[in-house]
Structure 1
Amino acid sequence: MRDRRTFLKRAGALGTAAVIAGCTGGGDGTDTEGGGGDSGDGDSGGDDSGGDSGGGSTETMSGDDGPAATFGGDGEINFNISPSVPQQQLQVQYAPLRDHIESYVTENYDTPSGLEASMNIGSNYSAVIQALGQGTADLAETGPLAAVVGNQTGNSEIILQRFGYGGWTYKSLIAVPNGSDISSVEDLEGKDVAFSDPLSTSGFLFPVAAMAEAGIDIGELPEGNGSQAAFTPRFAGGHVQSYTLLEQGQVDAAGMGGFVRDTSTGPTPDAWQDVATTLHEDSGIPRAPIVVSPQLPQESKDAIQQAFLEGPDTIYYGADGEEGTDDDLWFGDVREATIDDYQLVVDKAETLGIDPSFFE
């Protein structure tokens, strides 16, 4: 097993001023997988806004109205959204959820006066792990692998799993252009392959693990730029972006969440069939979690968790309040979860040499 102890250090250094809540459970797998699915893995994209504000803690208000809950020193509940969610869709998709969290926490818990909930779009998976660990973010949506990284390093804590596109699990796939002479995973040796982000579950972990299991040398991935691998990796910054590189003929194959193929996020299913063929598929991946900062008091973690668990269906319907319209969130329910619910992801990470000691 190769020594990958430096990977997490690299991940933590990627976005000091950036914040992200990554890959989703979007689409058929969102690894955050966000609005429309590409936040299924919570993979990259988006701008570098927000996130590194605040920090520290406020004094707990005293009173007899209920449990006390405190958050960052900036007087806000900082909720970080996957960069795969376009900036222009942030408010219309997530505002009802943001408003519910704010009202639920302030109405049911003893909180500092004027406490509000804010939303920011970040830049990549590693940045959200750092922000949660530093306490500059309070909660985030992220992908399973990023959540595992955060848990193993003590930078984040899984509290919820999301339900979307009809299930609690999703798919990852490797696709090639129609008519390609690539007929097996082994044939990817020496080829250009697109991935979403090095901390994407369906857009990197499962596809590259399949290549390694097929006997292809993956070099030092997920560290570095992949120059030592027996193929050329291209990190596109998102699942749909990986598909676009494939569609444009810039790569020979692409790893992505199954939602790109099976929903209308990016191409329609019919348009996908006109362009791509599935070479390899993994299923049963637990859908993306909601995570919180370990620096939060337990009462604050509980407050966030209960806000989701007791939220009405309308918090998932977007700004128009109507189900089945363009501003709906990709997920429509949550349930309690811990790191134990993501053991499949932990096991797959270990096949690449990413074991618990690697995160020390």
Structure 2
Amino acid sequence: MRDRSERTSSRRRFLITSGALGTGLAAGCLDESSSGNGNGNGETNGTTTGSVDETTISWILNPAESDVDIVAQYQPLFDYVESEVDVTIEPNRAQSYTATIQELRRGAGELADTSPSAAVAAKDVADVIGIRVAYGAAQYFSLITTTPDSDISELADLEGEEVAMGATMSVSGTLVPMMMLSQAGLDTGSAPDGDPPDFTPRYSDHSTARDQLINNPSIAAATTGAFSTAPHVPQEQFDELSQDFVDISAEYENAGSEEPELELLAVSDPIPRAPLMARSDWDDPIREDVEEAILNVEAEDLEHGDDYEGEELWFSGVESGSVEDYAPIEDVMDELGLEFKDLS
């Protein structure tokens, strides 16, 4: 590096297939239009470009919100790694959470921005480099919200209703909220692998779920990461429901800062933030330098220039971590009676 000051067999299989989980799951499902260079499918596998000292590595990006240009958002991190190590980063935007795991499985990327669920689902093919930190916290929250004029006052009232949710593998958008709904007495059935008997889920992503709640009268509630809906919820509602959120959440400071106002129904327990991962069989001497650079990144390294008008990166650093840090995610899977099925 350059110097620089079951449940056991009775658990249901959580199928990561196109039939069970929606679009964009087939192999080769990267968005080629977002590729920085190369052939757009991420199959660089450490190929040398430019000079004998520089290696191109593919970094798969995981879409959390449909309205964010994630490649532009992550550019400061790529620039930073390239300044620290003799590598060229080739970013590739996957079409879904599950597509990210598929690309790792087929060896189409060396590094990946993933959801917390991927730390569990892909633990046989990818290693956790570190846990992302936002405003000093390596934990975040899931929220379930409704509109102030709705007839929904508690989670049990969602029986028979339509609920906008995140992607099926999203921890804060779907898996944790599904557990919260189950604990509130609603029958979640085999969801998200199947249809829950007591309500109708509408899977999408965090921003779409929020917007559906705001704009679609048929949607009774939304389940999202706090980063999506907390700005619409007044602080006093968090004060009443969750001291953990007040003490830990990076989103508390700006709670209630945006219109329209939403009504808070439930706040999850703290969830480990999303990891950055490396493909386990990536066997290149430069890997150690790349991972060290990622763990040493500082907040100022992740900032865009003054002329940038897009979304800033949501995290301010990366702390060392391992799959063991994501045991709470496995607990959620256990409680829902789900497990991830490996793709062939």
TM score, norm. by length of structure 2: 0.77
1:179 to partner: Cα distance: 2.6
Provide, for residues 156-176 of structure 1, a one-character-per-residue CA deviation record: whole Å limited to 9, x for no partner.
221110111441111111111
| Cα deviation code 1:101-145 (max 9, x no counterpart) | 223221xxxxxxxx5211122210000001112110111111111
Q: Is the contact made by 2:146 and 2:265 (CA closer than 8 Å) also made in structure 1? A: yes
Alpha carbons of 1:256 and 1:55: their partners in 2 closer, same or farther (altered >3 Å)?
A: same
Name the amino acid aligned to 2:201. Answer: P
Question: What are the equivalent positions in structure 2 for 1:201-240 lying under 5 Å apart?
Answer: 201-224=171-194, 226=195, 228-236=196-204, 238-240=205-207
The verdict on how the C-alpha distance between 1:173 and 1:6 changes in structure 2, with shifts beyond 3 A counting, is closer
Q: Which residue matches 1:118?
A: 90
In structure 2, the residue matched to 1:286 is 272
Q: Out of 312, 331, 337, which is 1:347 matched to?
A: 331
Q: Tell me the matched-pair count.
A: 304
Instruction: Please tell me whether the aligned partners of residues 44 and 56 of structure 2 are also in contact (alpha carbons under 8 angstroms).
Output: no
Give the match for residue 242 of structure 2.
none
Pick from 137, 147, 161 the counterpart of residue 191 of structure 1. Answer: 161
**Partner of 1:39 in structure 2?**
none
Whether the aligned pair in 2 keeps the contact of 1:177 and 1:246 (CA below 8 Å) is: yes
SS at 2:270 equivalent: strand
8 Å CA contact retained: 1:49, 1:122: no
Change (3 A) 1:48 1:280: farther
1:338 equivalent in structure 2: 322
The corresponding residue for 2:235 is none
Determine the C-alpha separation between the residues in 1 that align with 2:269 and 2:81.
32
SS in 2 for 1:182: coil
Q: Which residue pairs with 2:303 in the alignment?
A: 317
- Structure 1 distance, partners of 2:193, 2:33, is 22
Q: Tell me the equivalent position of 1:17.
A: 28
Q: Is the 8 A contact 1:79 1:118 kept in 2?
A: yes
Q: Which residue of 2 aligns with 1:52?
A: 41
Amino acid at match of 1:231: F
- Answering whether residue 228 of structure 2 is matched by residue 260 of structure 1, we say yes
Could you say if the C-alpha distance between residues 184 and 48 of structure 1 is closer, same or farther in structure 2, counting changes exceeding 3 Å? farther
- Cα distance change of structure 1 residues 299 and 340 upon mapping to structure 2, 3 Å threshold: farther
Shift of 1:342: 1.1
Q: 16, 19, 26: which one pairs with 1:8?
A: 16
Q: Label 1:90 to 1:207 Cα distance change in 2 as closer, same or farther (>3 A).
A: closer
The answer to which of 75-84 and 167-176 deviates more is 75-84
Using the TM superposition, give the Cα deviation of residue 298 of structure 1 relative to its aligned residue in structure 2, in angstroms.
6.6
- Tell whether 2:110 aligns with 1:138: yes
Shift of 1:258: 1.1
| Contact 1:175/1:276, CA 8 A, preserved across alignment | yes
Q: CA deviation at 1:326?
A: 6.0
Equivalent position amino acid for 2:176 in 1? F
Give me the whole-angstrom Cα distance separating, in 1, the residues matched to 2:319 and 2:273.
11
Sequence identity (%): 29
Which residue does the alignment assign to 1:81? 61
Root mean square deviation, CA, Å: 3.2
Q: Could you tell me which residue of structure 1 aligns to residue 211 of structure 2?
A: 244
Post-superposition shift, 1:355? 4.3
Counterpart pick for 2:82 among 94, 102, 106? 102
Q: Aligned letter for 2:141?
A: K
**TM-score normalised by the chain length of structure 1:** 0.74
Among residues 263, 266, 273, which one is paired with 1:277 in the alignment?
263
Q: What are the within-5 Å matches in structure 2 for residues 34-45 of structure 1?
A: none
Q: For residues 345 and 317 of structure 1, what CA distance do their matches in structure 2 show?
A: 30
In structure 1, stretches of 5+ residues that fail to align are 21-46, 107-114
Residues 202 and 250 (structure 1), Cα distance of their counterparts in 2 relative to 1, 3 Å cut = same
